[in-house]
Amino acid sequence: MKYIVSLDQGTTSSRAILINENGKLIDIKQKEFKQIFPHQGWVEHDPNEILKSQIDVFEELVSSISLSDIVSIGITNQRETTVIWDKDTGKPLYNAIVWQDKRTSSICDQMKRDELSSYVKESTGLVIDSYFSATKVKWIIDNVDGVKSKLKEDKVLFGTIDSWLIYNLTNFKNHVTDYTNASRTMMYNIKNLQWDKKILEYLDIPKSILPEVMTSSSNFGEFQYKGFSIPINGVAGDQQAALFGQACFEDGMVKNTYGTGCFLLMNTGKKFMLSKNGLITTIACSLDDNIEYALEGSVFVAGAAIQWLRDSLGIIDSASDTEKIASSIKKLDDIYVVPAFAGLGSPYWDMYSRGAIFGLTRDTDRNQIIKATLESLAYQTKDIIDVMEKDSGLNLNSLKVDGGACMNNYLMQFQSDLLGNEVIRPEIIESTAMGAGYLAGLKSSIWDKDQIIKNQKIDRTFQSQIDMEERNKMYGGWKKAVKRTFNWIEK
């Protein structure tokens, strides 16, 4: 038996997944690593700890197989997180600045005042935000002792986590990334596939520190391990890898990952389109330089609202309790929970909105609040799908789901009712790791796209059971509720 190993470097843990030549997930190893919070709003990781945890789980995973049976490796990673290191020694010059880190908000505000918003959107597909890598790179160059002098000697390299791992796994040989990761740096022009000169000049970032950008399914180098040379043949950022892992290969196909937040991506094919409704445009996994695009929208608080029920209100013992409770009581009559705990993301983008419960009456009870909170995940998902359809002109036919909360059957049925579309839950909800594995296996000719489609075993399909009138009434109530949370706190 031959194998593909997928390395899934996430925000809180590193994982390694063993996939056999038939596309079957055989084993998973996982190791958490430290989250570092030096100041309020700052989030860092130790790049060496990331590397070590990733190699540790790899070793654990492959201990029972022969290394010569590993055909190739795929890598998927937390996106945008920024590492700067010394070209010769491979030593990080600062901790990795994580995507969640807000320290560069003021640099972003200045970019907006300098009227760069529409330029950045046209070039990179993104809205100017501290979330993306560009301003993190600038911050390190300007604030970390010794970086500027090393830059003068051309001894500095930048990479997202994929690049950092590959540089180390290949013994400092390959400084590369893939299109999907490059498209999250806010320095990469996703139409002409070049690093953006104007943005680099504005931020004073030398082009020489940036990695070479490659197709997601190609040879990124060889992992040198115990005398073996294992090709790294697939790389993609986590959300794009999940879209690929769910075999969303055609225009209009959408996946939603229900985790702490929700991440929705719609494949829009070869068409580069900009959203008029608060979505971002990003590069999807493609097998050659013929780039495909995706529209992306995110919900800040999804599974986190379920955690709130458990940890802050203490009205459930575990997240999975919500399914039984929601199913056991009758349909809600105009009760809505809007979990705008941290403002609202796409499509509203109101940082000043705050959470609220609407429609309380004397007989509203705990279970109704639980049910309404669970339903808010589906309402927020519909908000994004509606604008995806509007922006792309494409109609959704089914929604493919993954992430922890997709195991909730009540939620999935409610989602299908609300969309009026099929909701498809795969047997393997490890879409991200499978996506990276598929990319590697494609390059190694272990399988082709048709086999990946055939490999999509469905656990359960949910069909809408309500009519349009009822759907519109429910959703109309939600829209009314959301609007009333806008601008709650003072600017």
Residue ranges in contact with ligand ADP by CB under 6 A: 259-260, 303-304, 306-307, 319-320, 322-323, 403-405, 407-408
User: What tokens does 85 get?
Assistant: 């290191």
Nearer to ligand ADP, 120 or 405 (CB): 405
* 104 vs 322, beta carbon nearer ligand ADP: 322
Q: Which is nearer to ligand ADP, 274 or 313 (CB)?
A: 313
Give the CA-trace dihedral at 466, 471, 473, 476, to 10 degrees.
160
Buried b (16+ CB within 10 A) or exposed e, 341-374: eebbbbbbebeebbbebbbeeeeeeebbbbbbbb
Assign 454 to helix, strand or coil.
helix
Which sign, positive or negative, has the C-alpha torsion 341, 313, 42, 211?
Answer: negative
Closer to ligand ADP by Cβ: residue 199 or 316: 316
- Cα–Cα distance measured from residue 195 to residue 43, given in angstroms and rounded to the nearest whole number: 26
**Shortest reach from residue 389's CB to ligand ADP, in Å:** 25
Maximal CA-CA distance, the chain = 71
Q: How far is the CB of 298 from ligand ADP (least distance, A)?
A: 11
Q: How far is the CB of 66 from ligand ADP (least distance, A)?
A: 32
Is 399 within 8 Å of 365 (Cβ atoms)? no
Least distance (Å) between residue 132 CB and ligand ADP: 19
Q: How far is the CB of 358 from ligand ADP (least distance, A)?
A: 21
Closest distance of CB 43 from ligand ADP, Å? 15
Of the pair 100, 451, the CB lying nearest ligand ADP is at 100
Record the tokens describing residue 132, joined without a space: 């993306």
Contact in structure between 190 and 237 (CB atoms under 8 Å): no
Residues 352 and 189: their CA atoms lie apart, in Å, by 31
Minimum CB distance to ligand ADP, residue 300 (Å): 12
136 vs 425, which CB is nearer to ligand ADP?
425
Per DSSP, helices labelled H in 132-196 are 134-143, 147-152, 161-169, 179-182
Cα–Cα dist 466/49, whole Å: 50
Which residue, 49 or 321, has its beta carbon nearer to ligand ADP?
321
